[in-house]
Amino acid sequence: MSTLKVKLRLRVMRQKKAEEAAQHKIEELEKKAQKAAAEEEGHRQHELAMQKLEEQLMTVMPLVKEANLIIAELQRPQRLETKMHCELTAEGKSGAVNVAAAVMLNGVKLFEWNPETLENRVFILRELLQKAEDDGLEAVQDLPNEEDPLWDPIEVERLVGVAQVLLEGVLLQVENKVDARILSSEGQAVGSLKVEIIPIAKDGSLGIPDEEVVEDPEELLGSCMKFLVSVPGAVGLPEALANDVRVEYNYFIDEKPHLLPTVSGHNVNPEFKYSHTFTQDSGILLRSRGRMD
């Protein structure tokens, strides 16, 4: 091989490496730009959420304080408390934070009001206070339910909390048995839910045999791979809400939620013995509910 050909070949190889390095650099810069854009959008959304939360608190807290002062003047036993509830997204991340007013009686929550309802009830309480000042306290006692701003139908069934289970193990073709922590709307741990996610083989048996395992999970995207969702039971539910406990969850292809059979009676560790087969998706959200004593 002549010296000229060798030089040309080396020059072509160097050029190719330079092009590959440049392309790699471009890809890195694109990834950094995408990450920066995502972080900026996340920061913007966080700022908007904090602004909304601050506005709600500035509206609700003074109204709650005023309502409690009026309630005390009217010699009623109820008391209002400001509550913040954090929603959970399908990806398991914290979502919007909403502010509400809880109506309490002897430390037990009877029901909650959103900011709009609270504002309306405080307006009626002001009118009752004025009537009491004009006509005496007896004029605003023993009100019928439809005229009482502190009355609402008691919510017999309450949301115990939400447990998040991701289905990443389905793409990895492995079993996933977890004790999913149940979080209340206030972010407190209120028990755990036993959940099992088991992929199903082509012959319908549980578990994927070695010969069906794929190296790249992306090969399963768009496939009809099935998996079993099993909910054996829950553990450590709050005593006050552990009555007639049931669980419901949504699956993306179904319009209505899936309902687990209700466990009748009082039981802080209810057994559901539930299972159902689905095709793959990114995640499911389970909600536990129970009746008050």
Q: Tell me the pLDDT tens digit for each residue of 64-92.
A: 999 999 999 999 999 999 998 876 555 44
Q: What is the pTM of this model?
A: 0.62
pLDDT score at 41 = 66
Q: Tell me the pLDDT tens digit for each residue of 97-149.
A: 789 999 999 988 888 999 999 999 999 999 999 999 999 999 888 899 999 99
Q: How many CA atoms lie within 13 A of 291 on its CB side?
A: 10
Better-scored residue on pLDDT, 183 or 44? 183
Burial grade of 123 (CB within 10 A; 0-12, 13-18, 19 or more)? exposed
Give how far the C-alpha of residue 283 lies from the chain's centroid of Cα atoms, to the nearest Å. Answer: 12
For the segment 27-31, the average pLDDT, to the nearest whole number, is: 74
Angle at 166 between CA 162 and CA 171, to 5 degrees: 165
Q: How many CA atoms lie within 13 A of 169 on its CB side?
A: 19
User: Do the Cβ atoms of 201 and 209 come closer than 8 Å?
Assistant: yes
Most confident range (mean pLDDT) of 24-38, 42-56, 94-108, 112-126 is 112-126
Give the type of residue at 179.
D
Q: Tell me the pLDDT tens digit for each residue of 241-275.
A: 899 999 998 876 677 889 999 999 999 999 999 99
Would you state the torsion angle of the CA atoms of residues 99, 185, 254, 196, taken in this order, to the nearest 10 degrees?
A: 160
- From residue 64, how far is each of 68, 74, 104 by CA, in Å? 6, 15, 12
Give the type of residue at 112.
E
Q: Identify which of 220, 206, 222, 223 has the alpha carbon closest to the alpha carbon of residue 172.
A: 220
d(C-alpha 147, C-alpha 128), whole Å: 10
Domains of the chain from N-terminus onward: 56-147 (no CATH), 157-291 (2.60.40)
pLDDT score at 264 = 93
